[in-house]
Structure 1
Amino acid sequence: MSVITIDQASRWYGNVVAVNGISMTVRPGVTGLLGPNGAGKTTLIALMSGFVAPSAGTVTLDGEPIWRHTDAYRTIGLVPERELSFGYLTGRQFVLANAELHGLADPGAAAERALEVVEMTEPAGRRIGTYSKGMRQRVKLASALVHDPSVLLLDEPFNGVDPRQRLHLMSLLRRMGAEGRTVLFSSHILEEVEQVARQIEVMVSGRHAASGDFGQIRRLMTDRPVQYVVVGDDDRALAGALIAEPSVVAVALRRAGGVDVSVSDFGAFTVRLPQVARQHGIRILELTPTDESLESVFAYLVGG
């Protein structure tokens, strides 16, 4: 079983700091690396896979530095976010080439096993340039699995994958985690992470914002103040009724109609809103969150 340890790792490019003072440990099982676009997730995965060196700090695999440690590639499988540039190859040729680069005893058999795992055996004879985005993602995964790595790093693996393929990929990642592999995947979509990983690492603006069990992170996110616009058939009566609720911090009438509501506990608010409306004979016409972007969630986690 393999463990990746990141200790005060930073990476900068000239005056641009991509990741800053990151410390975390990635253990066997499935870990979700969550953060908005531009948070530094791709750079962190590049550090963990040995593709770039830390400008400061250390990144180790089972106690050995990953940078310039070529034996680490026998252990690590990487699925990058960037698109494949080998459209002229068939899927089978691409996976087989990776098997041969690893010096496997029977590269052909290894390639077929990997293609079967990701359900790409049938279309493997077609050129990659004819594949859908989801099929290209699965071929990248097959090439990463061809040498049976104990560590699998995936950068936004669900991008462009259709719902059926997404469910298959989620099931595959869970299974590999249950087998004892160390699996880390990045995503900017909370629901994707929730369905696959229990251990979550959150990044914001190149910094490590939060770490822990998904339930703990979820509670941090759901307990933060949330802004809503509620539109009813009697906005003044609605505002008066809502301000008396313990979960409501503030209300304000909107000139264009509706009520701005600041909520400290949206779980309690979503339960009480229909009850309050019924008690006061108010019909709710619309309920819209106004700050539900991941950027606002992560900003709250780091106090921004």
Structure 2
Amino acid sequence: MATISIDGVSRWFGNVVAVNDISVRIGPGVTGLLGPNGAGKSTLIHMMSGFLAPSAGTVTLDGQPIWRNQQTYRQIGLVPERESMYDFLTGWQFVLANAELHGLPDPGAAAARALATVEMEYAQDRKTGTYSKGMKQRVKMASALVHDPAVLLLDEPFNGMDPRQRLHLMELLRRFGAEGRTVLFSSHILEEVEQLARHIEVVVAGRHAASGDFRRIRRLMTDRPHRYLVRSSDDRALAAALIADASTSGIELDRQENALRIQAVDFHRFARLLPRVAKEAGIRLYTVSPADESLESVFSYLVAS
């Protein structure tokens, strides 16, 4: 079990502040790192992997500083967003070189295991310069896994992957998280984050905007009405019973969906009110589903705020 701690960390490049006073803990399991382009995600990942020193604050792995600490590097695997590969090397040579750099007792066996894990044995003897972007992503993943790290840091790992490759990598990351590894990945495809990581960290304009289960984050946004899609045995009667209560700010009959679209300004009160009103009026509830608790909705609210 490994935990990365980021405490009061800032990073600036000249007059540009890329990361501004961020504190966060990344523990075992799969964590998604979200933020608009230029929010500071890659800078954070580079500091967590030991490739970049913080301008202020500390980044530690289980209490040990990561910057210029070879012992922590042995526990971290990094998949950078940029290619950063030697096109004249074959996939096998590229992964083997990383195994040798780590001083592994049997670098050949370690390289073979890593390439098999990402299903790249079939192309391991080809030069990486002939690889597609998705293949390069997978061989970078093999290189990051070659020393069996406790921590995996992946910057946009799904870029360029076809649907089959993407599904395979998602299953791989789920497995690593279930094994107790600490996995952090950034992605601009919200559906991938939603499927993989219940826990998210959101960075906006270099600052830490939110942390936790995105559904819980949504419920804490009390300044924004919650939207629900409700189907019942008598939508009109249900709407009439609900509209008078202060927990709702608007109810619309959606004829196309054959359902009610309800805006609730008091989540907890509405959650208690709806079943009680339905029971008292003898109305059966068929569907009660949140219409804006997706990760996409939460992310758009956070970025706009």
- TM class, shorter-length: 0.7 to 0.9
Aligned counterparts of 1:208 and 1:73: Cα–Cα separation in 2: 25
1:53 aligns with 2:53: yes
Q: What displacement does 1:217 show? A: 3.6
Provide the secondary structure at the position in 2 that maps to 1:52. Answer: coil
Structure 1 contact 223–264 (Cα < 8 Å) conserved: no
Give the letter aligned to residue 117 of structure 1.
Answer: T
Aligned to 2:190: 190
Aligned counterparts of 1:13 and 1:56: Cα–Cα separation in 2: 12
Aligned to 2:302: 301
1:77 aligns with 2:77: yes
Aligned to 2:43: 43
Give the letter aligned to residue 14 of structure 1.
Answer: G
Q: What displacement does 1:96 show? A: 0.3
Structure 1 contact 197–214 (Cα < 8 Å) conserved: no
Give the letter aligned to residue 92 of structure 1.
Answer: W
Provide the secondary structure at the position in 2 that maps to 1:103. Answer: coil
Provide the secondary structure at the position in 2 that maps to 1:136. Answer: helix
Identity %: 73
Q: What displacement does 1:189 show? A: 2.1
Unmatched tracts of structure 1, length 5 or more: 227-243, 251-262, 269-291
Q: What displacement does 1:248 show? A: 4.9
Change over 3 Å in CA distance of 1:60–1:30 after alignment to 2: same
For 1:1-304, what aligned pairs fall within 5 Å after superposition?
1-217=1-217, 219=219, 224=224, 248=250, 298=299, 300-301=301-302, 304=305
Aligned to 2:229: none
Q: What displacement does 1:247 show? A: 5.9
Give the letter aligned to residue 8 of structure 1.
Answer: G
Unmatched tracts of structure 2, length 5 or more: 227-242, 253-261, 265-269, 271-293
Aligned counterparts of 1:73 and 1:28: Cα–Cα separation in 2: 17
Aligned counterparts of 1:174 and 1:221: Cα–Cα separation in 2: 29
Change over 3 Å in CA distance of 1:142–1:12 after alignment to 2: same
Q: What displacement does 1:299 show? A: 6.3
Structure 1 contact 209–298 (Cα < 8 Å) conserved: no
Aligned to 2:238: none
Change over 3 Å in CA distance of 1:221–1:68 after alignment to 2: same
Q: What displacement does 1:264 show? A: 5.2
Aligned counterparts of 1:205 and 1:24: Cα–Cα separation in 2: 16
Change over 3 Å in CA distance of 1:97–1:223 after alignment to 2: farther
Q: What displacement does 1:169 show? A: 0.1
Give the letter aligned to residue 300 of structure 1.
Answer: Y
Aligned counterparts of 2:251 and 2:208: Cα–Cα separation in 1: 29
1:170-189 CA-to-partner distances (Å, cap 9, x unmatched) read: 00000001111111001122
Q: What displacement does 1:219 show? A: 5.0
Give the letter aligned to residue 52 of structure 2.
Answer: V
Structure 2 contact 194–295 (Cα < 8 Å) conserved: no
Aligned counterparts of 2:45 and 2:5: Cα–Cα separation in 1: 12
Aligned counterparts of 1:293 and 1:62: Cα–Cα separation in 2: 30
Q: What displacement does 1:303 show? A: 6.3
Q: What displacement does 1:35 show? A: 1.2
Aligned-residue CA RMSD in angstroms?
3.0
Q: How many residue pairs are counted as aligned between the two chains?
A: 254
Structure 2 contact 34–202 (Cα < 8 Å) conserved: yes
Change over 3 Å in CA distance of 1:223–1:161 after alignment to 2: farther
1:132-169 CA-to-partner distances (Å, cap 9, x unmatched) read: 11100000000000000000000000111111000000
Give the letter aligned to residue 301 of structure 1.
Answer: L
Aligned counterparts of 1:224 and 1:45: Cα–Cα separation in 2: 31
Aligned to 1:253: none
Provide the secondary structure at the position in 2 that maps to 1:177. Answer: helix
Aligned to 1:286: none
